[in-house]
Amino acid sequence: MNLILVVIDSLRADHVGCYGNKWIRTPNLDALAKESVVFTQAYPESLPTIPVRRALWTGHTVFPFKEFKPPVGPHPRWLGWEPLADDDVIISELLCDKGYVTSFITDTYHMFKPSMNFHRGFMCWRWIRGQERDAYSTAPLTRDYSHLLPRGAERPTARLKDIFQNTAHWQSESDRFAPQVFQEAMDWIEENHTHDKFFMLVDSFDPHEPWNPPQYYVDLYDPGYKGRVIIDPPGGDPRKWMTARELKHVKALYAGEVTMVDRWLGLFIDRCKDMGVFDNSVFAVISDHGHPIGEHGVVKKAPRDLHSILTKLVMMIRFPGGEYGGRRVNALVQDHDLTPTLLSALEVKPPESMNGIDLMPLIRGEARKVRGYAVTGCQQFAAIRNLSWLYITEAPDGKPALYDLKRDPEEKKNLFGQEKRKASQMADLLEKYAGEHS
């Protein structure tokens, strides 16, 4: 039996049909969900990009973070941004030892910065170059990009300049990053489908910003728009950078990216079926986090913004033959639970180093819950939730926040001042968790 794990960066659960969205087209994820176990209350235990992947690779908690400054790269400020350590026990090496052929295909460039080592244990790895600030192209800009800049900006930021340089050669949809990633995955499946067993990890950085899908995807959600197109909006309060109409179009750009990624995921699934490996594989999809687009006064992920819009995950597992298909698990789970669960599904005993929880009892209906609460850490901030309450140590407005998730699922009314006893209980539980995992 094979294992195929697809990681999709910055995919909001509430922007996927099988998680309740009514206006964004995600037919392939929705079709997969009908044959899968869908987890409706999945959350990352740490953020952002690299902490999530470290948790997935190791099946182990990353938060609370140790002090660490990366030797290179634009993210010295992010805690938890460590390379894989030499003594980390990771899923790729475990499955290599069990005779699996292992492959890794991604455009998430952070994992290939010097010393990061996230390709360790993979017999084959392919890195699609050019995302975001990947130093891929140095060719001078020859086109006018002023129409793609935020209001008031006279020149592109260094990040936007890199983006424009890296994408200047694009001519068709297939040139874009998610199509390249899934096309490489399709090619690998064609070349390797006859192996007795393989582990394939496909990691798509899209729909991470910049949001620049082909125009026909954008027209699905905001046809006829004639205003400023802001493909990489600055963080913080959007009212400082764009009009309400421009923000609406930014949401359409993101929705277009989501639909494009869904389309190419569907093509990859079809190729797996054509090659006869789909029904002999455990096929899992997980997002690393969501993405705020104006909610709670924030655009882009930020350490304080640990609301569900950022932290709720897409997470589903399809078993061979569609076993357990259509089951929805409403219990709290976390991303590092996925790794021991996938190993268990392959009948590979998870090592003791993995403190994620095997979710197979939930999947088989033998248990109703495995966690009383879920914790998410980002920088020096953190959130803790159960199915009724969410406590955030410091919200975007700089104050602690407490939300009644039953009465206020959109997390709009901060009850910290009114429910001090509950807030204290949640804060104490968070402190206890941090102490036990330090």
pLDDT at res. 115: 87
Q: What is the pLDDT of residue 323?
A: 96
**Percent of residues in the chain assigned helix, strand, coil, to nearest 5:** 35, 15, 50
3-state secondary structure of 166: helix
296 near 307, Cβ under 8 Å?
Answer: yes
Q: Which long-range contacts (CB under 8 A, 24 or more apart) does 353-362 make?
A: 353/58, 353/59, 353/60, 353/88, 353/89, 354/58, 354/59, 354/60, 354/89, 355/59, 355/60, 355/61, 356/55, 356/59, 356/60, 356/61, 357/333, 359/39, 359/329, 359/333, 362/329, 362/331, 362/333
Strand partners, 283: 4, 318
In what helix (H) or strand (E) does residue 38 lie, and over which residues does it extend?
A: strand 37-39
CA 227/CA 317 separation, integer angstroms = 41
Sign of CA dihedral 294, 300, 306, 307: positive
Supply angle C-alpha 319, 201, 253, rounded to 5: 100
**Angle at which helices 244-274 and 27-34 pack, to 10 degrees?**
50
Closest to 318 measured CA to CA, from 286, 283, 287, 276: 283
Quick one: pLDDT at residue 135? 86
Calpha distance 325→51 (Å, rounded): 30
- CA separation, residue 59 to residues 51, 130, 136, 233, 425 (Å): 11, 29, 32, 33, 28
**pLDDT value of position 71:** 46
| Strand intervals (E) in 124-197 | 124-127
User: Looking at residue 70, what is its pLDDT?
Assistant: 47
How many Cα atoms are found within 13 Å in the side-chain-facing hemisphere of 237?
4
Domain 2-371, what architecture?
3-Layer(aba) Sandwich (3.40)
Residue-by-residue pLDDT tens, the chain, 438 positions: 999 999 999 999 999 999 999 999 999 999 999 999 999 999 999 999 999 999 999 999 999 987 545 444 444 457 888 899 999 999 999 999 999 999 999 999 999 988 899 999 999 999 999 999 998 998 888 888 877 777 777 677 888 889 999 999 999 999 999 999 999 999 999 999 999 999 999 999 999 999 999 999 999 999 999 999 999 988 888 888 889 999 999 999 999 999 999 999 999 999 999 999 999 999 999 999 999 999 998 898 888 899 999 999 999 999 999 999 999 999 999 999 999 999 999 999 999 999 999 999 999 999 999 999 999 999 889 999 999 999 999 988 889 999 999 999 999 999 999 999 999 999 999 999 999 987
pLDDT at residue 269 in the model: 98
Report domain extents, the chain.
2-371, 388-438
Contact by Cβ (8 Å): 233, 299: yes
- Distance from C-alpha of 143 to C-alpha of 382, rounded to nearest angstrom: 43
pLDDT of residue 166: 92
Question: What pTM was computed for the model?
Answer: 0.95
